Every structure is written in C-alpha cells, then in structure tokens.
Chains A and B, each alone.
Chain A
C-alpha cells in the first residue's frame, strides 16, 4: 500500500482515477491548482486505487494524503 501525498498546498481541481481502478506509475491521477497553476499529480507506483481521500474542490496542505494505491 502506497500513500500518494500532496507536494504543495492547493485546491483539488480534477480527480482522474476512481476507487478500484488500476493505475500505472507515472499516470496523472489528480490535478491540483496552486498559485493559478494547474499541477498534475502522478501515481508513484502502479496498482489499484484503494481509497481517494479528497474530493474536487478540497483544499489540501503539503503532505496531505490524496490517495492510497495498493501495489
């Protein structure tokens, strides 16, 4: 199990994967808006999305867990 954490504070703009979906390492699974920029967040490992901890519009701080991916 791998936790995908936010690398910076911002607002979740889009969630590009669903719980139960298989993702590959490097795949963009979320976008965060910070300082008027859209930042793609990529899965660090491949596996199944176990849980999505945020929703579109959520404000996240650096280090907050966004998703857990089962390896």
Chain B
C-alpha cells in the first residue's frame, strides 16, 4: 500500500495519518467547508474539499469519495469510526472500484450491523446472548405480547441502531406502549430502517468489550478487554483496561467468547465484541462493532501495539502474530473530552480560544488552539489517555493532568472528570453503567462544576 484515502475527519483522521507517515504511506484527507482549518487537513499528503458542512452532503457522499480516491490513485480507503465505517454499501463499492477497504468484508459488516441477525448468529455459535426477541417486532401488539415472556424492565432497540441512538429502557407495559412508535420513527429517521426488537434489561450491568483481530490466513486473536461502563445518554465517556474487579477466570471466558463470536463469521481486521456483565459475572453478547473503536488507544497503551498499523497490515494481506505474543502491562484509562456543558450535557460549539493540555498523557485530538468546534459534528474534541503501573497510579496521574488543563472558548466535561474520578464509586472500580448519572444525581448540590 502506497497511498490511502481517509474517509473521516478530525481526531481519527489525524491518528491514521500519524501511523501512515511512520510507515511511509501517503494519505489523502477529505474535508467539509467547516473543517478546512483543522490540523488533519494540512497533515495529510493531499486534501480534498468533499462538500458543504452537513455530513450527508460531505463525509457520507460515497460515490464522490470513491471517485476522488480513484482520481488520486489511492490503493485503499480507511473509514475510521462512525460515518461510513460500518456502511456495507460503502465497503462493497470500494472493493468494486478496485481498492482495498480497510476493515472487514461488506458481508460481515452487513451481518453484524443488523442486530437481530447478529444475535441469531451468536446464538447459533453458542455465544451467550441477552434474552430477547429472535425476530424483528413490527406491531405494538406483538411487542406487548413478547414482553410478557421477556419480562420488564426491557430495552426497546432499533435493529440497525448504534452509538446509543434508537434504544430506550421500558419499565413497564405503559412505557413500552408510549415509546414504541417513537423508537420506530427514530430508527427510520437515523438508520433508514424501522425494524425494532426487545431485549431483557440486565440490572447493575457493566459494559465490557473485547478487542479482536482477524487476518486473511485464518488467524484470529484477542487483545484483551476494556471496561466502558462510564456513560452518559448510553454513550461512553471513560474507558479503561484491564477492567477493575473482574476475576481472571471471567476475563478469560470473555475473551474466549469474543473469539468464538469472531470465528462464527470468519472475522477479518479490527473488531470489537461488546458484552454486558451482570453482578454475578454472567455475561451476554450485545453486539459486534466491525471497525476500529474510539477507545482503541486504551488497548494500545496496555499492549504497546499500534492497531492502525495492524489494520493496514491485515488489509494488505499480512499475518497476525500468535496469541501468546500479545501481553498487557499496567493500566490505561481514556477520557473523552466533549464540548458540552458538564451539568446538562448540552452541546457547546465555539472557538477554542485557548487549548493547553500540559504533560503526562497521550492526547488524541482533532483540534488546535484557534480552531472552531462547529455544531455540525460530534462534540468530542479530544481523548486523553493515561497509562500507569496500576489503576491507582493511572488515577493519580489523571488528577494531576486534569488540574493543569486549560480550555477556553467552549464548555467541556473536564470539570466533571476532576470531581468524578475522585469519587468513591469510581475509585472502588466497582461500578455499573448507571454510575455517572447516579453519582451526578446524588451529589447534585455539592457540585462545583
């Protein structure tokens, strides 16, 4: 591979460019009108204005992106995460245009993108799956009927959903009745598909995922797990590896189940198998993400590997190392810095008047001081990844780091991190997915955010 186009923006585009530069691979960046000043645009070998600001007119323009890639003689396209990364049609068109799609095949993306189909596949493969409906539910009557068997509370989810969108918890029949049409409509609006299904709600659950990698020679390995249970609005905020308070035998069984899931679909390239783990350490498959994850640096920090390099190697036909060569060291925590109000989580676009990070962390950001954080895209402005000899060391380094950060111009969730990571709930490591909203509720009056 000599030249790749990155069908993405900001932080992840910059991250991919960095590895490509190290490997001597040229890069083509695409950008909307609003993103022209972001650092990734000038850091790429070439840059193309792909369209106006809304993603549908720029970053989601499949045919235009492929046409630009062909015009510039690229060998492969890296989709990053989000946007087109799990779009089977895009992967298929890239391959048809004679280029390599840096990710799994379009068939795998399609199969795992349909949550009902992926549940069915995992059940057949013997991977434990959250109890729920085996087919899509089309009418409210059907949903109410199935709900009796599953039991409340339950999750109503869009089959094509992702990123926390198109899923809602229903406590009882009345809630399911109220939410049914709304979730269907949102599913249609966001994902172009209104199929929904029901899943039992597992109380006090942790969200733990396993990074897997497959090559085209039949090798499949795991890179251990990440705990992603600190969330707001069903979206991850803090991720860490290894997962605190996870018995070693459960960790081993989780990793084995993830490999079983990957083998069931002959998985290639980077993928993540997401599980929920209940208070008895019983775990269930949730979904498989067929791309690089936002939180991949956590795994990179503990394993010392470059996952983007692995993606390029596998896409180019290279072989993966054997499982025994993959070891972990220490503890890593990633914090997603969002341009948002730390109390209400409402967005806070604006100009980054001052952006001073300080030392002591790996900083993955798509922005520099003076850049505009626009309302058109995701609110994440940066990821802070801190590695320590153990969890206590990583937490102590995190406090020191956050005390030195200065960001002016937009509100961020850094004040929230500063308080939350010192809380008993987080420090104990014994936390489930509701930890952040519960902690905020409990300490409402004490907040100095």
Question: Chain A: residues with CB nearer than 8 A to chain B?
Answer: 7-11, 34-37, 39
Contacts and interface: CB of A to CB of B under 8 A. Distances in A.
Interface of B: 54, 339-340, 346-349, 374-379
24 contacts: A7-B346, A8-B347, A8-B348, A8-B349, A8-B375, A9-B349, A9-B374, A10-B347, A10-B349, A10-B375, A11-B54, A11-B375, A34-B347, A34-B349, A35-B375, A35-B376, A35-B379, A36-B377, A36-B379, A37-B346, A37-B347, A37-B379, A39-B346, A39-B347
A60 to B, nearest CB: 9
Contacts of B377: 35-36
B46 to A, nearest CB: 28
A13 to B, nearest CB: 9
A35 B349 CA distance: 8
Nearest to B55: A36
A4 B375 CA distance: 20
A7 B346 CA distance: 10
Contacts of B54: 11
Nearest to A8: B347
Q: Which of A9, A11, A35 has the most CB of B within 10 A?
A: A35
A9 B346 contact: no
Nearest to B163: A36
Given A9-B349, A34-B349, A37-B346, 4 more contacts: A8-B346, A34-B347, A35-B376, A39-B346
Nearest to A13: B189
A36 B378 contact: yes
A37 B376 CA distance: 10
Contacts of B379: 35-37
A11 B346 CA distance: 15
